[in-house]
Structures are given as C-alpha cells and as structure tokens.
C-alpha cells in the first residue's frame, strides 16, 4: 500500500491526543505535515518531537498544521508528551496532536511499516515517515527513514518553503536552496515567456552541450 505524490491523502478517522479526528476536517484550509514514529518513550523519537515543539512558530508562519503518529495508545502519548516537553525545555499545552494507531491500520494504509523493527509482541513498528499535504488535500512530498535514523526538521521546513513557492511560481529550487536564493526556471517555460514571467531577468549558464537549460532567476 502507500500513496503517490499528487494523489488525495486519505480522509482517515483516528483517535488522537485531542480526541477522534477526521483528517481532512482537522486540516481545514491549511497545509499539513504528518510524521510517524516507531514507538513512545524511545530516544530518537523524543529528540524529533522535541525539535518539532520548538519549531511550531515556524510551521504556524507557513500555515502548516502538524500531527504526529505512533502506534501506542493515547494515554501513553499523553504521558510521553511530558518527557518530550521536559527534554525540549518547553511547557504549557502540548501544541500538536499525536495519533494512536495500535493495530497499525494507518501504518498499513499509508505504507509506513518497517519490517526490520518489531515491538515486544512481534508486530512491525512504523518507520519515520513524513507526509506533506497541500490545502487541496493532495500529497506534495513523502519521506521514509528507518527507525535508527532521526530526521532533520530544518530540512523539512526548507522543503515546505520550496513546495509553497513552486506551487504558484514557474520555478524549481536547486540543491541546497533556501528562502531568498536563486531559483531555476522550469524546463517547460518557453523562451518568449521569460520577460513577462521573470522581469528581474534570467541568467543562462553555458554548458558544453550548448543547451540552454540552466536558467537561473531571482526568487519570484
């Protein structure tokens, strides 16, 4: 199972730390990021959820709602949340929900199982999946890391910036791009469209093939 880029993300119903949700209703008109974890009270997961706690203002600035998922039950999530807040030096209400998926229904539906990692009962755990979903409820990006490799949420903010920019402008972002950096004109843009679309100019990098495909422009 799994879901392809551009497909509608399932409107699943699930228990979470803020009660049962229907995913699309919970999203409203926002972007969303759903990120999964192997299990509660595990070290790498604690560092990841803690980093996300600190980045909540950055997600809010980008109109992105955040939701985590781990197989354990809601009581366990609530108990674990206190450790995560303590570890990350934050306090107050835990600012994003955590989905409970004890039977792995969602993990199977969304293609998140890691057969290499099992719980005490021998059930496979969820891997470290990331899904970024647009306000149109379509999947814009997915990542899948094994349990033993923690993610970098600064990179995830960077890709959100790229997704939001390229959703409306005819550019793509090159390797290592960050907000404000030079962008590449999309290969589908024709030469005669350049002055209208990119009034600040387009710089073509000459290459041995003689082809004019490396077209840089200021971030629109």
Residues annotated catalytic, as ranges: 45, 136
Q: Which two tokens stand for residue 48?
A: 């990841």
Instruction: Identify which of residues 110 and 127 has a Cβ nearer to ligand BEZ in the complex.
Output: 127
Instruction: Identify which of residues 84 and 160 has a Cβ nearer to ligand BEZ in the complex.
Output: 84
Q: Does 148 bind ligand BEZ (CB under 6 A)?
A: yes
Question: What share of residues in the chain are helix, strand, coil (percent, to 5)?
Answer: 30, 30, 45
CA dist 119 → 19, 103, 150, 171 (Å): 25, 12, 18, 44
17-46: contacts with ligand BEZ (CB under 6 A)? 38-39, 42-45
167 by DSSP, 3-state: which?
coil
CA dist 99 → 29, 81, 94, 218 (Å): 20, 12, 13, 40
78-117: contacts with ligand BEZ (CB under 6 A)? 117
| Least distance from ligand BEZ to the Cβ atom of residue 117, Å | 5
| Least distance from ligand BEZ to the Cβ atom of residue 153, Å | 15
Q: Does 189 bind ligand BEZ (CB under 6 A)?
A: no
Interacting residues toward ligand BEZ by CB under 6 A: 38-39, 42-45, 117, 147-148
């Amino acid at each position: 199972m799994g879901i392809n880029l551009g497909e509608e993300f399932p409107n699943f119903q699930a228990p979470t730390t803020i009660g049962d949700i229907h995913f699309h209703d919970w999203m409203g008109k926002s972007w969303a990021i759903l990120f999964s974890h192997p299990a509660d009270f595990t070290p790498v997961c604690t560092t990841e959820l803690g980093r996300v706690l600190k980045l909540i203002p950055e997600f809010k600035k980008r109109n992105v709602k955040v939701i985590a998922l781990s197989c354990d039950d809601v009581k366990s999530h609530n108990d674990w949340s206190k450790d995560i807040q303590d570890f990350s030096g934050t306090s107050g209400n835990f600012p994003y929900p955590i989905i409970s998926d004890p039977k792995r229904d969602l993990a199977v539906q969304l293609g998140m199982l890691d057969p290499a990692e099992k719980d005490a009962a021998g059930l496979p755990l969820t891997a470290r999946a990331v899904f970024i979903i647009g306000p149109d409820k379509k999947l814009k990006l997915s990542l899948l890391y094994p349990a033993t490799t923690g993610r970098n949420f600064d990179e995830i903010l960077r890709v959100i910036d790229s997704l939001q920019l390229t959703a409306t402008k005819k550019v793509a972002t090159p390797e290592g791009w960050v907000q404000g950096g030079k962008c590449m004109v999309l290969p589908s843009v024709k030469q005669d469209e350049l002055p209208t679309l990119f009034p600040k100019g387009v710089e073509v990098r000459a290459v041995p093939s003689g082809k004019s495909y490396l077209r840089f422009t200021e971030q629109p």
